Structure 1
């Protein structure tokens, strides 16, 4: 509110002047928060007393307030502390910590919601912390952390049970945010060491245990969200984003024991909620790979875009060899779930009929395979032959060498060998064609095929994996069959195009590039098992027609500069106005010439030239862009001026210059019988000069006139007329 004289005592000041004023009376004032934010001295002096601060903190966590005050007082108390009044924060954290902060922190000692198991009945009664009250509590703790990070970190780490108190209430979203806030403190110099303390006290182990397939699916979702947030805060892939970097939590998460435990949870055949564990576990693995891409430092697009050097992007790369090794060992079990999913119980009625659903379980397994392929192609997982003295130890830790039948394989090739032996890629190809309307699946399968077909066929096991797809998966034959079935369906009345046809075109392009790049390595190896004749026919006919059709603009041909565009009503009105102005000027011109008595057929011809600015009605010129050619035997080129070609005549203002039109036509106002014969005679004339020659001719005629002489003649005639009048 603005006051005329710039100052006015608020009602709160008058209230604070009373000797027996209570905190409840102050909280009932409407302008309390405004005065607190503006640092009212009287209000600060009143609030910054130990008993008043203790009362405010108690209001935030109280459970026995009367109904009118149940929501108002906790909100006002948290907002007052959020004003960051320095005297108040000092008293809470430093001066009276035992009397104020410790009782306030005991809010986490309250009974938590019990961990639900899959067999527990669903109850409507909610237990645990109130979500609104918990948000006020976490907001207050966040203010204290921002003002005194060192003191608050020391207070939290002083009791090892504080982490367990937080984890007990992890079902409350505000408490999870508080835990993530503590982890983010690692970014500050004052908060260094908090992640190590959390890791030492079993944070990650507690979160992984929540993915137990015998627990409720809500527990799985909570653990997955928390772990994925930790992964994103620790990412090493995006140099422009804030990150706490590689830390003990991530090292523990990607370790072999943790991954073995997670894989055991996901693949438990008897657990009731194993599917939920698998879905959430795959999301965790995907986030680990995507946010720790070891090849980003070699990506020229990233280094060029952000201007980073190789040393500044990733000083400490993350090795995912242990995780990839564990997942590779379980590829056969994951592949078996593609054939016999646990979450699908028969067909489902849809608008397309009764069909068997793909299921989220199978989709997530395909996504897992695609991400594992990305991980297997990382250079630090395949370069075990390129070690130097300085990086020997680090490279040995990052690269696992696995022996199979006496052959040494990198962990990346070990994964591909498991894909080949378990026929994972051919099964994924079968799923692609079995679910023609699931575009999520189509995109994931295309991503896998794109990675395989664009890999080097002379290095590692990429060649065996590609041959497995083409030979055992019969990919080319299935594409040809799918194309024919789609054409037959589209030919029927109200036929519908299959949903995977767009991705089939992309996959066919990848296969063509593969065959062209490795004709001996790939084509010779599969020619006896693949119908190359039908594939060649498909490429030369259906695929070629599809690509040509896809390259056409959706609206037809691309408009050129000379193409006439359809006019709107406003443009037509402007054209009509322009035509009317031209007609009026032309009529005045004819009337003026006729009044002078010099109007004849030649003048009529010249007047017609005024409309066009050129004398080419006889078709002696050809127009091609900005070049004009004469239709004569010599074929001489007319030297046109580009600037004049691109100008637009401004009829009402200037008639001295005219653009060279690409299309000569008469304006509608002169298409009448009165001038029809004049135009016909004009068009029959063969020899016309252009506008420049006509202008030069007029100029020469004007120069030939002696204007001064004409003026003398006029003066003599005036004198004679005056003399005759005097005599009269």
Structure 2
């Protein structure tokens, strides 16, 4: 038996408009079903929309600001519908656009400097151009090649994220979009596009421009075999980027983003996973082996190491950041953290010249000092741990000597482990809060990991063994304290909320295990709430107002949050912030 469903066979409101003797584009755009009809390839509708006059009007909705007294439909609905019609990727409509240079000129007139560039319209413009890149690649590239002022206009508007996405795709973020990708990259490298983008890293540019320029340049490095990426890694380009980074010590944004580009040049995969565009750019060959870094690229970076080391000196910084565990005098800052990250990635290249420069300049020694001066900054500890591991794995004995003997790494580790509470003695950068019990320092977990790494490396390197034997307290510490700590921190032995060791699982049935599990979800949730201030039900008001933070000091609030998390609830911080064990 078949049911009669009259609503299915009822004609669409769009068809009702098309049945009129005279109708306008606005009447069609006012119908919600027009996008569905376009996707269904309604021939009457598409034949109307493919006309040059209609395509031109659709473009004007996208690129032109509505009049001040315009209706709400003209301001929001019509531009949205027009953009959706183009992104339906109907070939005949897109063909009308790319075949008429007048229409292409109209589309790219949105980039003209004397026009309004609202975020809303910029997003619509970006979607249409990206659609043309995918479906009409050849005609679009030909147009851009014939109108090279488009590049200058795109670069001038790179602070708008939607425009940055267009530029990022043009320079090769979506290499599948180009049938002649190699030729296009060669043409781009021969133009002055790269120089124009790099120049936007100047301290005179605003922070949002620095961030988007860095993202675009990092996008180029993720295809290291392209001609444009090879040009970016040239010594002249690298030197120019670092010159902008160090031109004005007050421009933290220029420094941080310029170093991000340098990090990406040394390790293109490192920056890709943190990129907001990573998921939209699919063909980046992220899991292929890395191409070795050009020694000339590293050589262009080394002359600036001394200038970066000066910035790691915090003695002249009089800022104070209060936290729950005390005060940072001064806070480390995002720019210093980025310098440490840069050094960590530089050491991973295993370049002997770079290792020698970092030792002779005292950079490694200064960074080791930061490990102890800021005992609650987990991001800092993570990068310094990577630096220490790279030093221990180096083939040069001189860098191991510098780390273990000149920097007295083992002695300082043992001293911290023996006096593991925050102290106010001496000229400390992290001072305990007055009137409160001194808290446990937050770098003990990393000290444990580094200690285990030393033991592991000592099995294969006699030079490390010789350095360790010079400290008589080391043998006792690693045989007692470190070994006991490893047993406690072995998560496979934890029964509550953790997997038990395989040898302890005697059951064959999952059902038996479910009944005996000792998960206490309420207690775990309560502990999380107390430790981190999470509001479980999401309707509580914040109990305290932390005040505003200036843009250049956004990292201060992050640093404060990290320290608060480590200190709260008597928690002992371990590894990368995911594993916690009660201290008591």
Normalising by structure 1, what TM-score? 0.59
| Cα pair distance change 1:254/1:349, threshold 3 Å | same
Q: What is the alpha-carbon distance in structure 1 between the residues aligned to residue 207 and residue 102 of structure 2?
A: 41
2:20 to 18, 21, 27: 18
Task: Give the gaps of 5 or more residues in structure 1.
Answer: 113-127, 236-245, 294-307, 378-411, 457-461, 572-728
1:429 to 368, 371, 385: 368
Equivalent in the alignment of 2:253? 276
Q: What is the alpha-carbon distance in structure 1 between the residues aligned to residue 42 and residue 305 of structure 2?
A: 67
Equivalent in the alignment of 1:207? 197
For residues 691-715 of structure 1, give each alpha carbon's deviation from its aligned partner in whole angstroms, at most 9, with x where no partner exists.
xxxxxxxxxxxxxxxxxxxxxxxxx
Q: What is the alpha-carbon distance in structure 2 between the residues aligned to residue 341 and residue 197 of structure 1?
A: 49
User: 1:453 offset after TM fit, Å?
Assistant: 1.4
Q: What is the alpha-carbon distance in structure 2 between the residues aligned to residue 57 and residue 33 of structure 1?
A: 16
User: 1:276 offset after TM fit, Å?
Assistant: 2.2
Equivalent in the alignment of 2:377? 438
2:228 to 237, 249, 253: 249
- Secondary structure at the aligned position of 2:327 is classed as strand
- Secondary structure at the aligned position of 2:205 is classed as coil
User: 1:13 offset after TM fit, Å?
Assistant: 3.0
Aligned partners of 1:186 and 1:194 also within 8 Å: no
Equivalent in the alignment of 1:139? 127
Q: What is the alpha-carbon distance in structure 1 between the residues aligned to residue 457 and residue 58 of structure 2?
A: 71
Equivalent in the alignment of 2:211? 221
State the structure with bigger RCO (CA 8 A, min sep 6), 1 or 2: 2
User: 1:256 offset after TM fit, Å?
Assistant: 0.7
- Secondary structure at the aligned position of 1:427 is classed as helix
Equivalent in the alignment of 1:502? 445
Q: What is the alpha-carbon distance in structure 1 between the residues aligned to residue 90 and residue 486 of structure 2?
A: 68
For residues 87-126 of structure 1, give each alpha carbon's deviation from its aligned partner in whole angstroms, at most 9, with x where no partner exists.
32332222xx0342222322222426xxxxxxxxxxxxxx
Aligned partners of 1:220 and 1:280 also within 8 Å: yes
For residues 607-651 of structure 1, give each alpha carbon's deviation from its aligned partner in whole angstroms, at most 9, with x where no partner exists.
xxxxxxxxxxxxxxxxxxxxxxxxxxxxxxxxxxxxxxxxxxxxx
Equivalent in the alignment of 1:103? 106
Task: Give the gaps of 5 or more residues in structure 2.
Answer: 271-284, 424-435, 517-584
2:140 to 129, 136, 152: 152
User: 1:15 offset after TM fit, Å?
Assistant: 3.1
- Secondary structure at the aligned position of 1:354 is classed as strand
- Secondary structure at the aligned position of 2:179 is classed as helix
Q: Equivalences for 1:71-470 in 2 at 5 Å?
A: 71-94=76-99, 97-111=100-114, 128-184=116-172, 186-192=175-181, 193-232=183-222, 234-235=223-224, 246-268=225-247, 270-273=248-251, 275-291=252-268, 317-340=291-314, 344-356=317-329, 357-375=331-349, 377=350, 412-456=351-395, 462-470=396-404
Q: What is the alpha-carbon distance in structure 2 between the residues aligned to residue 166 and residue 570 of structure 1?
A: 62
Q: What is the alpha-carbon distance in structure 2 between the residues aligned to residue 285 and residue 488 of structure 1?
A: 35
1:555 to 495, 498, 513: 495
User: 1:454 offset after TM fit, Å?
Assistant: 2.6
**What count of residue pairs does the alignment treat as equivalent?**
473
Aligned partners of 1:423 and 1:468 also within 8 Å: no
Aligned partners of 1:26 and 1:32 also within 8 Å: yes
User: 1:452 offset after TM fit, Å?
Assistant: 1.6
For residues 163-222 of structure 1, give each alpha carbon's deviation from its aligned partner in whole angstroms, at most 9, with x where no partner exists.
112212222222111112323464345342332333332222122111112433232222
Higher Rg of the two aligned structures = 1
User: 1:485 offset after TM fit, Å?
Assistant: 0.5
| Cα pair distance change 1:415/1:181, threshold 3 Å | closer
| Cα pair distance change 1:91/1:341, threshold 3 Å | farther
